[in-house]
Amino acid sequence: MAGVKITDTTLRDAHQSLIATRMKTEDMLPIAEKLDKIGFHSLEVWGGATFDSCLRFLKEDPWERLRSLRKAFKNTKLQMLLRGQNLLGYKHYPDDIVEMFIKKSIENGIDIIRIFDALNDPRNIKKSIEFTKKYGGQAQAAISYTTSPVHNNEYYIKLSIEFEKMGADSICIKDMSGILMPYEAEKLVRGLKENISLPIQIHSHFTSGIANQTYMKAIEAGADIIDTAISPLGMGTSQPATESMVASLQGSPYYPDINMDLLLEVSDYFKQLRDRYLKEGLLSEKVLNVDVRTLRYQIPGGMLSNLVSQLNSQGALDKFEEVLEEVPKVREDLGYPPLVTPMSQMVGTTAVFNVLLGERYKMVPKETKNYVKGLYGKPAVPIKEEIKKKIIGDEEVFAGRPADLLEPELDKLRKEIKEYIEQEEDVLTYALFPQVALDFFKHRQVEKYKIDVSLLDEEFSVYPV
């Protein structure tokens, strides 16, 4: 067989996992030429939380970042992560916005779109697959991997067969928590290979310390592609280190066609960058550690840090262990949703409320209520009637595809921001993050046209000129 292929995540998931998605485009471009020549199957450079962070924290246009990267990478496919009908936001968007977003992502440089749904509800990714194919992209359907009484290999194989019928070009086993065990990975990959004809990609996080072994068993079972990150931004809550995985396959039929000399040069560049992030306080040593609690609570690294932040803000960090114990209980009550965005936020915040208020479901976030009402999709296990009653009372539960409730919005949104539009993509930016987008558009006008900031509204006056 040909060697295993590698997708490097350094420019997306690695820095999202380790430095809260704060890597700037100016830090990516100097090393692009060398990254491009290493021989990667693809580079994950966009999607996930990068879009929000570009706007909110870095004051960068995410579309301009994508165009710059596309120009820099002449040989390697560019890949992004998309939350199905949620796109890169935290709610469902109408089909007209989903279509335009995918069209523009591909036009601006994306080759492969990895599409997942937090509930593994095929209805929530069907349109994304359809639009990706329509505009010439490769559609990779992702399984949000978790474990529960119903989430087993038979469930994932059945799901993947459905994805293949929908037109997916490949399947990704997306293990966001780092809980996929090596021998389970071997069984799952073998099962998938026996039932579908698509390439299989493995994505895991090193949070629990087992992802390297999981990758090895998956590769031996026939996995075609693995996700890794350059070592200075690998391991910890990120992906396994690219250099180590490549080296570990030496002497085997799985050894990838990778330029190791260039890989080490790229590694040196990111070592310097990592040192700078440490000095700037963007990188905490804590996220570089293995956290075996992940195996018990199935909590991804990003969710752990978010729980700490929420409890800190309430002066209740002493309740951390109690909240960790509550998370799997809430997850069971809600039908065992995988702990991935936006479900991880819903389950985590609900668990915090339950503990701090001393009474379960006394106060429930609006998003969790909407989930129970069926507005995010169908859970793998029906939610028990008594839990529904506690959370939404006698309100009706919607059983259809959530996006069917949504009216087209593009024309309305275009009119709302007509004075700020400089490119068609601005309407999509506004659709996903309305207030953050407006702040960014105003900032852009100040920077571009040197407008007197005092002429803008007070809300924007906190930004420096």
Question: What phi and psi, each to the nearest 5 degrees, are found at residue 308?
Answer: -60, -45
Domain with CATH 1.10.472.90 in the chain: 299-400
Question: Which amino acid appears at position 305 of this protein?
Answer: S
Q: Cβ of 166: how many Cβ atoms within 10 Å? A: 18
Rounded to the nearest 10 degrees, the angle between the axes of helix 434-449 and helix 425-432 is 140
**pLDDT the model gives residue 385:** 94
Using DSSP, state whether 45 is helix, strand or coil.
strand
| Inter-residue contact 54 to 80 (CB < 8 Å) | no
In CATH, the number for domain 299-400 is 1.10.472.90
Q: How far apart are the first and last CA of the chain?
A: 57
> Cα separation of 363 and 331, whole Å?
16
Token pair, residue 78, equals 């560019």
> What are the tens digits of pLDDT across the range 354-404?
999 999 999 999 999 999 999 999 999 999 999 999 999 999 999 999 999
The string over 333-349, giving b where at least 16 C-beta atoms fall within 10 Å of a residue's C-beta and e elsewhere, is: bbbbbbbbbbbbbbbbb
**pLDDT the model gives residue 288:** 85
| Inter-residue contact 141 to 109 (CB < 8 Å) | no
Q: Cβ of 455: how many Cβ atoms within 10 Å? A: 9
Q: Cβ of 60: how many Cβ atoms within 10 Å? A: 17
Q: What is the DSSP letter of 44?
A: E
In 239-300, where does DSSP find H-type helix? 242-248, 260-280, 293-297
> What are the tens digits of pLDDT across the range 149-195?
999 999 999 999 999 999 999 999 999 999 999 999 999 999 999 99
- At a CB cut-off of 8 Å and minimum separation 6, what does 143 contact? 116, 120, 156, 159, 160, 171, 172, 173, 174
> Cα separation of 438 and 161, whole Å?
42
Q: Spell out, as residue ranges, where the chain has pLDDT lower than 70.
A: 1, 301-302, 450-465
**pLDDT the model gives residue 452:** 55
In CATH, the number for domain 5-285 is 3.20.20.70
**pLDDT the model gives residue 454:** 53
Is the bond preceding 342 in cis, omega lying within 30 degrees of 0? Answer: yes
Rounded to the nearest 10 degrees, the angle between the axes of helix 126-134 and helix 95-107 is 40
> Cα separation of 135 and 367, whole Å?
32
Q: What is the DSSP letter of 281?
A: T
